[in-house]
Homo-oligomer: A and B are copies of this chain.
Amino acid sequence: MMSRLVLQVRPGSVAIHRWCLPSNRPSKLPLVLFSRSFSQQRSKVPASQVPKLWAQAQAVCFDVDCTITKQDALDDLANFLGKGQQVQDLTNAAMNGDMDLAEALQKRLDIMEPTVDKLTAYVQSNPAAPRLVPGIQSLIQELQARNVDVFLISGGFRELILPVADLLKIPRDHIYANRFVYMSDDARLDGTGTTESVSQLIRVTGFDPSQVTSREGGKPEAIRQIRSKKPLQTVVMIGDGITDLEAAEETGGADLFIGYGGVVARPRVQENADWWITDYQEILDALPRFKVAMVGSGAFASAVLQMISQNARDKAIFQDIVDVYVYEEDYHGAKLTSAINQQHENPKYLPGVHFGDNVVANPDLESTVQDADLIIFCAPHQFMHSLCKQIQLIGVKPTAKAISLTKGIHISPEQGPQLMSSMIHRMLNIECSVLMGANLAGEIGPNGLCEATIGSRVREQGHVFQELFDTDYFHVSVIPDIEGAEMAGALKNVVALAAGFADGCDLGQNAKAVVLRQGLSEMRQFAKAMYPNTVRDETFFESCGVADLIATCYGGRNHRVAQEFAKQRGRTSFSQLETDLLNGQKLQGVLTSEEVQSVLSSKGWQNQYPLFSTVNAIVRGRLEPKDISRFRELPGLSLESGGEEPSLLEKTIGF
C-alpha cells in the first residue's frame, strides 16, 4: 500500500503536524475542547464608555463570513460543489453553538471533499469585490488612514479569504484563519491508466489543528497573540457569530465587541453585544476626526489650502472646517480675514487661487490652535519663534501633531542648525514633521503637476499628514529624514542666489548646471556635517532635494532677486530689490547664506564649500556677481576680512 501524501499549501509553514486524516472520518483530532461560557449573560461595557473605546481603538479585528462578506464562504463553496443543503445545516448548528467547532468543521469538509482544481475554479469565479457587505471598504480605509491596525480573525479558510484581504489592503500577517490539509486520493492513485492531473487528484481532507481558529476559544487566543506582538491599549472585535462574541469575553481578548447584523442577526449575539449595528456607517460616523489648523497665510499657505480644504471635506478622517490663523491687516479698507472669508482666496498674497469654503480665516491665534489635532506651520521663518512663544502660552492638546512647511533655519556656530521642526517640538512639546519640495506657490493647483516630501520620525504621523496634503495633482511621499529634508529646503535658497547671479550674467546652461550640481553637493555635505547620523544621501534625490533645487533655481524668488542684483551689477541692495520685486514677501537666501557662513567661518570650512562661500562674498559686496563663475578659485580669493566689518545680517535688520 502506498504511503499517504500530505501536501502543505502554506508558504513558510511553521509547526504543521505531519498528521493525516482518513478522507472519510474525523477521528483522532487532538483538540482541546473548552466548556461553553456564552450561555450566560456577559457583563457588557457601560454604554457611556462604548463610543470612547471605539474612538480610541488601536486595533480592530473583523470576522469575515457574514461580517465582511455577504456569504459564508464554506457554504458558498458547498453550493458550488452541489452540496449546499447538507453543509448549511451543519453551519447553522455550529454558529448557534449547538455543536463543537472542530467537529462541525471536519464534518463539513467530509461532505464537500473539494479537489484543488475545484477550489481554484471556485475562487476564480467568485471575485472578492461583489461579495463585500456595504460600507465595509470605506470603514477599513478610514481605520487604516488613522493608523488603526485591521485584522481578520475567521473560522473560515485562508485560501478563500486571501482575495478579500488583498482587496482591503490587509497584510497577510494580519490574517488569522484556518488552513486546509490536502491529500492525494488513495483510491485513484492505486488505479492505473487514469489521465487526471495532480490538481484533480489532490483534495481537502481536513484542517491544520495548529491554527488557533480551529479550536474552541480560538478568537480570544488570536487577540492575545496580536497583543503579544505589539502592546495595544484598545482592541475591538466586530462580528456576527457566537465565536466573535467569545473574543471579548476572555482576559487578553477584545475590549469592545460590536455585533454586526447586516447579513445575519443572531439573537444571542445581539443581546450580548456592547454595540449592535446593522450598517457600518453608524460606527464610521463615530470615528474621531482630526481638527486641522494652519498658522500662516502667505502665498504658499494659500496654495496648500487648496489640497487641505479638499481633503478635509472629502476624507472622514478630518473635520470639515480648517481654521487658519491670519495676521490681521488692512486690505482695501476692510480686514484681510473678512476678504479671505468672503472670497475664499487670499486676495493679497495669492489672488485668483480659490480654496474651499470650509477654510475659515481667524485673526485670533488662541482659538485657532487650542483645540487642533493637526497644526500646520506655514509662516515666514523670521516670525516662527515669536509665534511659537505665543502658542506656548496658549497651550495645545498634548496629543496634537505639528508639521512645518516653513523653509529657513537658524544656524549659529555655537548651537548648529535650529530646525523649525526641532524648535516647534521643543517649545510646544509635540512631535513635528516637515513638508518640503518643489512647490512654487503660484503653480500649485488642479491643473498643475507637483510633488512634495514629508519628513517624519514617526511613520504613522507622516502618513496622516500625507492624507491631508496628497491629491491627484500634488503627490506626497514620506521619508524618515526630517533633518535632511529641512536642511535641503533652507540651503537650496543659497544655491538659488548663485543660480540667479549666473543667469543675471548670462553664463549659459552649462555653467548653471555646474552651479546646481555643486550646490546640491554642498547642501548634502553641509547637512551631513551637521547631522552625520540621520541625514541620508537618498533624501537629495527626492522632491525636497534635487527637484526643489531645480524649481527654485529656475523660478523662485531668491533666484529672481539675485538675477536682478547681478543685472544691476550689485548697485541696488537686496533689501531694496525685495521691496521692488516681492510685494512684501521675504527673501530667505541672504539670511541663510549669512548664517551658514558664520558656521563655515567658525569651523574653518570655507574652502570646502567654495560655492556657498562665493555666494556669501558676493552678497557682502566683496566679490562681484560675475565672480560666481570663479568659485573654484576660492582658496585664492581673500573673502574674509579681519572680522571688523559689520555683517550683512546686522546691516539688514528688519529685512
Contact = CB atoms under 8 A, between A and B. Distances in A.
A507 interface: yes
A512 interface: yes
Contact of A513 (B513, B515, B548): B548
Interface residues of A, number: 39
Interface in A529-574: 537-538, 540-543, 546-548, 550-551, 554-555
A511 B542 contact: no
Contacts of A551: 509-510, 512-513
A625 to B, nearest CB: 13
B541 A475 contact: no
Q: How many copies does the complex hold?
A: 2
Interface string A490-522: 000000000000000001111111111100110
A248 to B, nearest CB: 41
A303 to B, nearest CB: 10
A652 to B, nearest CB: 27
A271 interface: no
A632 B517 contact: no
Contacts of A541: 517, 520-521, 524, 537, 540
Given A516-B550, A517-B541, A543-B517, A509 B449 contact: no
Contact of A546 (B440, B475, B520): B520
A408 to B, nearest CB: 20
A513 B629 contact: no
A550 B516 CA distance: 9
Most chain B CB inside 10 Å of its own CB: which residue of A440, A444, A509, A515: A509
A514 B629 contact: no
A642 B555 CA distance: 43
A510 B444 contact: yes
A411 interface: no
Contact of A450 (B514, B516, B538, B540): B514
A540 B513 CA distance: 13
A98 interface: no
A510 B546 contact: no
A514 B547 CA distance: 6
A254 interface: no
A138 B515 CA distance: 33
Contacts of A548: 513
A439 B513 CA distance: 9
B510 A440 contact: yes
A554 to B, nearest CB: 5
A208 interface: no
Contacts of A554: 509, 512, 554
A144 to B, nearest CB: 21
Contact of A443 (B508, B555, B632): B508
A299 to B, nearest CB: 13
Contacts of A509: 438, 440, 443, 550-551, 554-555
A451 interface: yes
A576 to B, nearest CB: 26
A448 interface: yes
Contacts of A540: 541
Nearest to A449: B511
Interface in A395-439: 438-439
B475 A632 contact: yes
Contacts of A543: 513-514, 517
A642 to B, nearest CB: 24
Contacts of A444: 510
Contact of A438 (B510, B629, B632): B510
Nearest to A555: B509
A512 B521 CA distance: 21
A517 B475 contact: no
Contacts of A439: 510
A632 B632 CA distance: 40
Nearest to A438: B513
Contacts of A510: 438-440, 443-444, 448-451, 551
A510 B537 CA distance: 22
B440 A514 contact: no
A507 B444 CA distance: 11
Contacts of A538: 537
Contacts of A515: 449
A108 to B, nearest CB: 40
A475 B518 CA distance: 12
Contacts of A507: 448-449
A520 B551 CA distance: 15
A400 to B, nearest CB: 30
A516 B450 CA distance: 12
Contacts of A450: 510-511, 514
A20 B514 CA distance: 58
A540 B537 CA distance: 11
Contacts of A521: 541
Contact of A449 (B438, B440, B448, B514): B514
A475 to B, nearest CB: 7
Nearest to A632: B475
A586 B200 CA distance: 60
Nearest to A517: B547
A491 B450 CA distance: 23
Q: Which 5 A-B pairs have the closest CB atoms?
A: A438-B513, A509-B555, A517-B547, A449-B511, A513-B551
Given A516-B550, A517-B543, 10 more contacts: A438-B513, A443-B509, A448-B507, A448-B508, A448-B510, A451-B514, A475-B514, A521-B541, A537-B537, A537-B538
Interface of A: 438-440, 443-444, 448-451, 475, 507-517, 520-521, 524, 537-538, 540-543, 546-548, 550-551, 554-555, 629, 632
7 contacts: A439-B510, A451-B517, A509-B554, A513-B551, A517-B550, A520-B546, A554-B554
